[in-house]
Amino acid sequence: MNKSMKFAAAIVAGAALVTSALAAEEKRVTPKEAEAMVKKGVAYIKANPRDKAMADITNKTGQFVDRELYLTVYKPDGTALAHGANEKFVGKNMIDLRDGDGKEHIRERMELAKTKSTFWQDFKFVNPVNKKLEPKQMYCEKADELIVCGGIYKPA
What tens digit of pLDDT does each residue of 16-66 get?
433 333 344 458 899 999 999 999 999 999 999 999 999 999 999 999 999
What are 80-102's pLDDT values in tens digits? 999 999 999 999 999 999 998 99
The model carries a pTM of 0.82
How far apart are the two ends of the chain, measured CA to CA in Å?
Answer: 39
Q: Which domains does the chain have, with CATH numbers?
A: 29-153 (3.30.450.20)
According to the model, what pLDDT value does residue 65 have? 97
Non-local CB neighbours of 58 within 8 Å, separated by 6+ positions: 82, 83, 84, 87, 90
Helix, strand, or coil (residue 150): strand
DSSP 102-135: S--HHHHHHHHHHH-SEEEEEEEEE-TTT--EEE
For the chain, give the longest Cα–Cα distance.
Answer: 70
